[in-house]
Structure 1
């Protein structure tokens, strides 16, 4: 089930599913150690007439965010029981605390007793072995712990009343046919067992008296810590200042954070501007405070392959960082490059992917080839794009004078590796493609290596390292000439996706499969978007990869097997991906000759918005017949690509309007060039 409404502070990330059940709780890293492990934590309501959980189909829900923030705004209505709920959730920006405000509306004339139940099903350190939960009589809360992971679950009625549960239940689950303490809540009476260990869960109750046609306010919070002292300290602080203070400062923080974006969003329609801001917030929620930008934190994907997307892929991170840098979030993106500098191997390349703590992530790239000889288990574009994005980072942040350590310990080893990792023709040696499926020489990788080497040459120029500047620029030119010679098909009159080495014939053989990633030939600056060979390539991509259903959108490549739902590849070459559709929008923007030419790109921007969840969340891909989200949701790359395309759209609008009025644009906006600019 798709994840929705992510909220976080860079240490804690909380995800809900599309039924507004709490599903994922990451701590102490965004994307590492899911303390909930996709197990459903319930929220329920008891009245004398009936009981319901928050995902009950009889309950009408409108789920979204409070204005331009990472604070949820969920409106619920139960007509039969005459109850309304307004729920707001946030993760505090100063302390590691999840806060929930609940306003219960009594739509009947008589006073009523309503009980709210908050249940937690935790798997500390990502497993359910050896957990403990107990009732703390001083805090009047439940405390969960194992090793150096502690969580407390607390509540308070509104009006400044003392914190404390009205009742609780603690027990075991996932053994002896036990479902969990949430079942105990359905009759409105909890067992109050004081402690349990093993595979455990806990539920707290908060009883409210609500006047006829009136409202009552309730607060719940979860404190995250590494020891009991952490819990005690933060619990004391929350009770001292009241949880409302935490939620308010969190809301204010995100408004101020968005105000740092340097683009003139008044040039956009309000709904597009709002979606742009929402995408920035989703990217931030999936970024760890120590620099790892996580691809996706939807633990539901584990059912597919027993692994997740909760890793830092250097390529994804580089492209996402570029969008953030163009917005002006340089302090945040600086941490990403420090992360990469620490992860760089002694040989000068970056590995497949990394855990949020900086350790190597899981991988399926082998260290030997089909003949049993050593090969590097890498995607070379990941190394190249980090160097390219780093150049833009320092250029946009105006921090080149501070870049010496980055040059010495990241740029030079990576550029030396890319310069040596070439064959006699000038093509990069084989590595895995960006889709992580094929080992060969790929147009996307070739374009990124060209861009990375030019970036290294630019750094060398700045630091007066003249010999290296000439060398790296020469190496980049060799890559470009080789790409034009060997990766352009005269018979097809377009570029090819890849070259694969044939050991029997001892030569490269071209892969003519159309692939949306071939857009990189212009976006990374290998050739201008106006080049006729680029135009022919992009025209073929649009004609052959557009989904011929009412859903539309661009697939990755012809006969894409990943989450494939039909073999009718003439109509559905693959599922529509947001990034692929937006890449084509980038091309339309790059080739637009006037403002009227931007209309087709805006159509694709709006296509993206129309296939998001109601909250504005973008998945990786959508079902080609229903438009429902598929694979992980949200995908950070999807949101960052939306941000980048809108940035390029705005830059082109400003350019055309300045030209129309006969003015030269001398603003900082000129620095916000496309990746290939």
Structure 2
């Protein structure tokens, strides 16, 4: 299930699903330690003796953000209950707390008691072994903890008198779940009354309730918050601040912060339609939710993908991160890209390359790339990641003149990577040695990787010239020139009139080319190895457009011919694969790069509108969309998208 609404401050990331339920809680790193493991933390309503959870099919739902901020505007309407809920949710800009403001709109025309139930299905630090949940009477709240991870759940209902709010939950239950037939305390809520059990340990959950009296003439308001910390005193201090200052103070300052953040640069949008500029601004904000404050740019944090491969996308791929960092630099958010380069400086191997992927804390992540190949030892790497980090770093420093910050990275990151890339070349072909492709499926010499390696070496040579190291600059530039000459000889295939996506070198030195049309061929011009108007590039990109465009009513560009990943259509010649947002946008970038007039930008604008219209109502972009229904496929949101 997609994650329709992510909220984050760079330490605490929470995701809401299409039903408005809390599904993921990452802390203290974005993308690491999902304390719910994707299980639903249910929201329930009791009124007139009838109970409904938020995932009940009787609800009409509209999940959006407020404009230009990371504060939600979620509306849930249940005609059967004659109630509407409007929630305003935010993870505070600074404090590690999720604040929820729930307006209850009475549609029955009469006052009634309404009870809201908040369920907490936690598996702290990724498992349900040894958790504790307990009611704390002094603060009238419930806490969950294990080791150095603590979560405090509390709420308040505004008083009619001017005294403000009175904090504390009205009902609670803690209990065992998923053990010896126990489903959890959420079942206890369905009669509108909770047991009041004060403590449970092991595989546990909890549910709390807040009561309100509705009035037809005005909305009733209930506040709920979840504080996260590394100890009791930390979460207690956050709770104390929310009670003292009021939840509205936290919501207001967070709303203002993100409005200021997204407007950091002054943009001249000209005649670009509002649906596209709105998608751009929303894209920046959603992008930020997936980035940890210590520099990790995670690929995606939709935990449901674990059911497909028993792993997630909650990792840092150097390639993906470098491309995101470049986008952040172009949008003026250089602090976030700088933190990413700091992360990379710490992560790079002493030999000068990046491994497959990394955890958000910088440790080496899981991998399916082997160290042993059919010909013996091999590196389990995607070389494009090494090249693109150096390429993105040069563009960052060239744009922002971040010279003092850059000084230590020149030797430890740039020179180390450039020396390795210059040496990791097949002397017979002049191309880089094999590595895994950007899709992580094939081992060989790939056009995208060749272009990224060339770009990294050129960027390193520019660094060296600026640091007055001409010998190094010439060495790295010569290595780049040699790779480009080899690409001319081996990657370009005159018999096809276009470039191959991959070549493999046999034991006898013969080069075998893979003619599959692949959207990643855009890298040949995007990173500067060839101009976009080169006739060979034009023929290559025209092949990409003609053979990868999905010819259903949905449209969009597939990754490559006969792409099997999450494949929907197996016998439909109109569908070479599911449409991907990133691949479709690469085609838009080519149209932009070639345009000489406003009219020639029209195809790119059509693609941008295509993207905006296929986002979720919240503005979130998935990895792929269904080729017949437009519904999101795979993870959502995908940071790269």
| TM-score (normalised: structure 2) | 0.98
* Displacement of 1:267: 4.2
Aligned runs of 1:295-334 on 2, under 5 Å?
295-334=299-338
- Secondary structure of the residue aligned to 1:265 is coil
> Is 2:372 aligned against 1:368?
yes
Q: 1:231 to 1:401 in 2, by over 3 A?
A: closer
Aligned runs of 1:394-543 on 2, under 5 Å?
394-424=397-427, 425-503=429-507, 505-543=508-546
Counterparts of 2:185 and 2:269, CA distance in 1: 49
State the partner residue of 2:106.
106
Counterparts of 2:217 and 2:260, CA distance in 1: 37
State the partner residue of 2:569.
566
Aligned residue pairs total 636
Describe the superposition over 1:395-431 as per-residue Cα deviations: whole angstroms up to 9, x where unpaired: 1112235422111110000000000000123211110
Unpaired runs of 5+ in structure 1? Answer: 639-677
Counterparts of 1:535 and 1:569, CA distance in 2: 27
CA RMSD of aligned residues (A): 1.1
Contact 1:295 1:637 in 2 (8 A): yes
State the partner residue of 1:607.
610
* Displacement of 1:207: 0.9
Contact 1:620 1:634 in 2 (8 A): yes
State the partner residue of 2:25.
25
Describe the superposition over 1:349-385 as per-residue Cα deviations: whole angstroms up to 9, x where unpaired: 01110000000010000001113x1111000000000
Q: Which of 208, 214, 217 does residue 210 from structure 1 map onto?
A: 214
Unpaired runs of 5+ in structure 2? Answer: none
* Displacement of 1:569: 5.7
Counterparts of 2:196 and 2:49, CA distance in 1: 23
Aligned runs of 1:117-128 on 2, under 5 Å?
117-128=117-128
* Displacement of 1:214: 2.8
* Displacement of 1:266: 4.8
Aligned runs of 1:89-100 on 2, under 5 Å?
89-100=89-100
Contact 2:24 2:35 in 1 (8 A): yes
State the partner residue of 2:298.
294
Q: 1:415 to 1:71 in 2, by over 3 A?
A: same
| TM-score (normalised: structure 1) | 0.93
Q: Which of 259, 270, 281 does residue 255 from structure 1 map onto?
A: 259
* Displacement of 1:622: 1.1
State the partner residue of 1:133.
133
* Displacement of 1:515: 0.4
Aligned runs of 1:371-386 on 2, under 5 Å?
371=375, 373-386=376-389
Q: 1:407 to 1:4 in 2, by over 3 A?
A: same
- Secondary structure of the residue aligned to 2:143 is strand
Describe the superposition over 1:9-47 as per-residue Cα deviations: whole angstroms up to 9, x where unpaired: 000111111121111000010000001101111111111
- Secondary structure of the residue aligned to 1:196 is strand
- Secondary structure of the residue aligned to 1:637 is coil
Q: Which of 167, 173, 195 does residue 171 from structure 2 map onto?
A: 167
Contact 1:49 1:81 in 2 (8 A): no
Contact 2:558 2:583 in 1 (8 A): yes
Contact 2:152 2:236 in 1 (8 A): no
State the partner residue of 2:9.
9
